[in-house]
Amino acid sequence: MAKYQCMCGWIYDEDVGEPSQNIPPGTKFEDLPDTFRCPQCGLGKNAFRKIEE
């Protein structure tokens, strides 16, 4: 699964998900809700770029 990095440096790992926002492991980045925010800086999905397949 892929990893995406926010402009602030925080990484969303699809294998891990984001427990603090009730995003389960295995959730693809494109399937995250539009309300998803970086837990470190609060930026939205458009602040992320793919860094790894």
Which segments are annotated as binding site for Fe cation? 6, 8, 38, 41
Q: What are residue 32's phi and psi, to 5 degrees?
A: -65, 145
Binding residues, by number, are 6, 8, 38, 41
Q: Is 47 helix (H, G, I), strand (E, B) or coil?
A: helix
Closest CA to 39 of 12, 14, 13, 2: 12
